[in-house]
């Protein structure tokens, strides 16, 4: 399950008494960015790096990798796969980012920046778009050393992004698949092992406040602070950090129950017949997306060239193959 939204610097939200309760769209954050631009000359209002960009708040239900054209709308409205990079909503978004760049809300070099989390750690940014979940603000506060508050924008959905994004598997060439399976089983059953991997060694990397609440010991210099516990095992066995909501896991269950299950859940695209087109389209997307996502270029001529190069790369054949496979899958999908 995932949704998208914003992480905002908590100290600046409080300093300017910002009302964040009505931020339900990408555009609704602009008055806050304006406040920062006008009053905090040393702070960049919006942090963007590579695919970590407000474009993600469109939440396209992508059929393949993030840099491969082809997606469904994320609300189960139909079964038509489109080139989402050139959809009307995406082009409108590129215009918004161009406007924000011209207003100084985005760093002029954003198209060349690489690591959003490292940028957030610098303390030089006010807002960042993120994939959210209950308690994400507390997790990122611990990771970055800066307090954040989260603003949920999109509705929670259950998609293939979750089932494939953090999937544990045993390699076919594994010499001990049985033992590998037993280890994976422990990640879902053994609380000590799960938290050892999450947080390290007690009284070395963290200390317990009570049986289920901990605080990290010098996380920036402890030598162990991976911050990737969500990728493996049963999260409901994780300790809570001292800055986290005591009701985090109860809210997580509610979050999961309220999510929209996308109709494409379970569909796996076979790339075999269009590997050449995928590779060519990826190259084109990589050449254009950073400039469009960050508002670094004029939109219309860039989109026109982007579309022309994608067509030459075989995007029509790629989308047609995605549609063919998806239609076939839907036809045989259990009701």
Check residue 161 and give its pLDDT.
82
**Greatest Cα pair distance in the chain:** 61
Q: Does residue 79 contact residue 263 with C-beta atoms inside 8 Å? A: yes
Give φ, ψ of 324 to 5 degrees: -60, -50
How many of the other CB atoms lie within 10 Å of CB of 19?
10
- 21-43 residue pLDDT tens: 999 999 999 999 999 999 999 99
Average pLDDT of the residues of the chain = 94
Check residue 334 and give its pLDDT.
82
- Distances from the Cα of 156 to the Cαs of 4, 83, 151, 230, 261, in angstroms? 8, 23, 13, 17, 9
The SS3 call for residue 87 is coil
The SS3 call for residue 67 is coil
Identify the band that residue 231 occupies on the pLDDT scale cut at 50, 70 and 90: confident
Identify the band that residue 223 occupies on the pLDDT scale cut at 50, 70 and 90: confident
Give me the mean pLDDT over the 50-56 stretch: 96
The radius of gyration of the chain's CA atoms, rounded to the nearest angstrom, is 21
How many of the other CB atoms lie within 10 Å of CB of 228?
11
Q: Report how far residue 310's alpha carbon sits from residue 278's, in angstroms, rounded to the nearest whole number.
A: 10
Check residue 305 and give its pLDDT.
98
Give me the mean pLDDT over the 230-236 stretch: 86
Residues 71, 66, 326: CA angle, nearest 5 degrees: 35
β-pairing verdict for 240-241 and 157-158: unpaired
């Amino acid at each position: 399950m995932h949704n998208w939204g914003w992480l905002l610097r908590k100290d600046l939200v409080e300093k300017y008494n910002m009302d964040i309760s009505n931020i339900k769209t990408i555009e609704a954050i602009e008055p806050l960015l304006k406040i920062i631009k006008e009053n905090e000359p040393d702070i960049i209002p919006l942090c963007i790096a590579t695919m970590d960009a407000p474009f993600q708040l469109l939440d396209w239900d992508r059929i393949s990798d993030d840099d491969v054209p082809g997606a469904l709308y994320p609300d189960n409205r139909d079964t038509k796969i489109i080139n989402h990079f050139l959809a009307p909503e995406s082009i409108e978004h590129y215009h918004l980012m161009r406007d924000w760049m011209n207003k100084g809300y985005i760093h002029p070099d954003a198209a060349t920046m690489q690591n959003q989390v490292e940028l957030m750690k610098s303390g030089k940014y006010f807002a960042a778009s993120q994939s959210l979940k209950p308690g994400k603000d507390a997790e990122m506060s611990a990771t970055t050393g800066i307090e954040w508050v989260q603003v949920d924008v999109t509705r929670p959905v259950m998609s293939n992004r979750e089932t494939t994004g953090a999937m544990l598997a045993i390699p076919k060439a594994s010499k001990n698949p049985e033992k590998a399976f037993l280890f994976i089983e422990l990640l879902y059953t053994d609380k000590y092992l799960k938290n050892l991997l999450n947080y390290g060694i007690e009284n070395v990397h963290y200390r317990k406040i009570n049986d289920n609440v901990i605080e990290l010991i010098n996380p920036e210099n402890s030598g162990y602070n991976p911050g990737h516990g969500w990728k493996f095992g049963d999260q409901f066995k994780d300790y809570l950090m001292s800055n986290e909501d005591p009701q985090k896991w109860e809210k997580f269950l509610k979050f999961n129950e309220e999510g929209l299950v996308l109709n494409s859940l379970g569909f796996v695209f076979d790339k075999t017949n269009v590997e050449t087109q995928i590779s060519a389209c990826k190259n084109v997307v990589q050449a254009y997306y950073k400039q469009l996502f960050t508002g670094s270029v004029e939109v219309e001529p860039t989109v026109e060239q982007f579309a022309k190069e994608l067509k030459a790369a075989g995007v029509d054949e790629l989308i047609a193959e995605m549609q063919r496979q998806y239609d076939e899958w839907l036809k045989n999908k259990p009701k």
